[in-house]
Amino acid sequence: SRKIIIDTDPGQDDAVAILLALASPEELEVLGVVAVAGNVGLHHNANNARKVVELAGRRDIHVYAGCARPMRRHLVTAEHVHGETGLDGPDLPDPTIPLQTQHGVDYIVDTLMAAEPGTITLCTLGPLTNIAMALIKQPAIAERIKEIVMMGGAYFEVGNITPAAEFNIYVDPEAADVVLRSGVPITMLPLDVTHQIQSTPQRLAAIKAIGNKSGEAVHAMLTFSETFDLQKYGWSGAPLHDPTVIAYLLQPDLFTGRHCNVTIETASELTVGMTVTDYWHVTGKVKNVNYLRNGNAEGFYKLLTERLARLP
Ligand code: BDR
Ligand code: CA
């Protein structure tokens, strides 16, 4: 099975991604979960990550806290989408597993340096602060990371936090820039894909109908976070973002895209955080990203529902 580290700011959709990964032990071995500041502050995100691994019945998974703010900017959060705790919706018990004492960035560096090169995939579901800081602290990790599979960016679907930028990239554009220039193989799941993976009432009802605690919690989480999105977009379902990263690892043929250059705008106030995507290769720039543009929503929800049924 493929070894992964999940870097995340849970977040209802992050939580669903973590559950999907933990429900798939044959394909994915989750080595650890690292929290980063993003949807809400680091403290809440780390707390939520612990709640979610416990919900999955996986008290053995170690949870770390990474960076509390972006590299250069003030932290922008999204309580208006995710609620005060970042995981409003379900009534989950306070976590009982301890937060690991090692810093999340050190955990990432040490784990990569100790492992066989090319064996660990980083799955990023939030701002890229921890990954950029790890690359800066120990540049030798770049050659050892198998791949970074990230939810982030937008091009054909434009932005969700500003007209030009997607939230994860916008929160820490300098970090995203470091990561995209690192030379590590990168697969991006941008809004272009996640806006196609809409959680309609029927799809959410199917998840609730599984009848287990996890299905119940996912239903409550997404019903909460959807309220905002449904108003915003006026669609019949809300986009579902972060679980596409895990779905890609489980079933890559659900997605299509192409290799191209993606460069992060870090200078302009108007478009900061924009993922400028050279889809037609009009520059000669190196194709640093496997940019996914389309996703199969039916196939995705079938996979998600099937896998959630395997959890407590
Ligand atoms: C991203 O922003 C967060 O609110 C979600 O968890 C997702 O990672 C979507 O833009
Ligand atoms: Ca997220």
Q: What is the ipTM of this complex?
A: 0.99
Q: What is the pLDDT of residues 114-161, one digit of tens each?
A: 999 999 999 999 999 999 999 999 999 999 999 999 999 999 998 999
Is ligand 1 within 6 A of the CB of residue 155?
no
Ligand 1 lined by 13 (C-beta under 6 Å): yes
154 CA: nearest ligand 1 atom: 10
**Residue 168 Cβ contacting ligand 1 at under 6 Å:** yes
Task: Identify which of 59, 89, 82 has the alpha carbon closest to the alpha carbon of residue 217.
Answer: 89
Give the residue, by CA position, lying nearest to ligand 1 atom 2. 167
- Ligand 2 center–CA 182 separation, angstroms: 22
User: How many residues would you count in the chain?
Assistant: 312
Residues forming the active site: 241
If one counts every other C-beta atom within 10 angstroms of the C-beta of residue 80, the result is 7
160 lines ligand 1 (CB under 6 A): yes
147 contacts 184 by C-beta, under 8 angstroms? yes
**pTM to 2 decimals?**
0.98
Tens digit of pLDDT for each residue in 22-59?
A: 999 999 999 999 999 999 999 999 999 999 999 999 99
Q: Ligand 1 pocket: which of 14, 36, 242 to mutate (most atoms <8 Å of CB)?
A: 242
pLDDT above 90 for 230: no
The alpha carbon of 138 and the centre of ligand 1 are apart by a number of angstroms equal to 27
Q: What span, in angstroms and rounded, lies between the C-alpha atoms of 36 and 143?
A: 23
CA–CA separation, 48 vs 58, rounded Å? 14
Query: Can you tell me which atom of ligand 1 is nearest the CA of 78?
Result: 4
